[in-house]
Amino acid sequence: MNNPSIRRLIETFAFFKANVFLIGKFLIISTLPLILLEIFLSYYGTTVSFPITIRYLSIIIGYLYQPIYTGGLIYLIYKIVIDEQCNIRECLSVSLLRWADLIIVNIISTVIIIAGLFAFLIPGFIAFARLSLAEYSVVINNFNPKKAIMNSNDLAKQFTWQIIGSCFLLSGILLIIELLIQIIINKLSTGNIFISAVSSLVSIILWSNFTILLFRYYDLASKNNEPQLEDSPANG
């Protein structure tokens, strides 16, 4: 396969297939509390006179919680790649230690990407690619937000268009799969809390391919650039 974006996708799916049970187990344990809370807020929102407020509350909680399981997943993938044992508690401990830095990185990245999208779209896509590896620098290299963003820009520079292309392809594939699953679930049951929870878990596990894909670029770029690493997450 000569197209590097497609080659990265194939590598991503192969890694996901080989480690789906580990990844699935981690994500189920780490995201189930959030999913149950979001389902509760969703149902509760239909019984109150201010449902929009409840919806915004759910979005805010999800945004604040997301770095916990994403950071833990990054650390899990990192440990799998270097062939070291890692349990769920260790992954969550690392992500909780890095939570504040991950939140800051996410906020800064979101603002820059949105500003770029308003500037004729293309700058937003480039900003996304250049900032997409910042979380990995926080979790793996223990960089502060400023250094993580600068490191992400340096690492991703050589893969900017590959990252954009492969992320578009992966998003399209996952959206189609998710749509098909949602159609099946809707035919089986509607309004069932258990089905809603399973649907959310399946969606999160599927989209973990995105984290795997970007880790692949982080790993390739790191090896090419041979960056000087700070303390490891376990010692930080």
pLDDT digits (tens, 9 = 90+) for 104-152: 999 999 999 999 888 878 999 999 999 999 999 999 999 999 999 999 9
Residue 231 lies in a domain: no
DSSP, collapsed to helix, strand or coil, labels residue 162 as helix
How many domains in the chain?
1
Domain-embedded: residue 234: no
pLDDT at 229: 45
Could you tell me if residue 236 is inside a domain?
no
pLDDT for residue 59: 86
Structure tokens that stand for 181 in this block: 């699953």
Domain assignment of residue 232, yes or no: no
Does a structural domain hold residue 109?
yes
Q: Which range of residues forms the domain containing residue 196?
A: 4-225
Q: Which residues contact 140 (CB under 8 A, 6 or more apart)?
A: 74, 75, 78, 218, 229, 232, 233
Tokens for 157? Answer: 């520079």
Residues 23, 31: Cα–Cα separation, whole Å:
12
**pTM beyond 0.85:** yes
Above 60 in pLDDT, residue 54? Answer: yes
Q: What is the pLDDT of residues 156-186, one digit of tens each?
A: 999 999 999 999 999 999 999 989 988 887 7
What 3-state class would DSSP assign to 175? helix
In a domain, 133, yes or no: yes
Q: Quick one: tokens of 97?
A: 């230690």
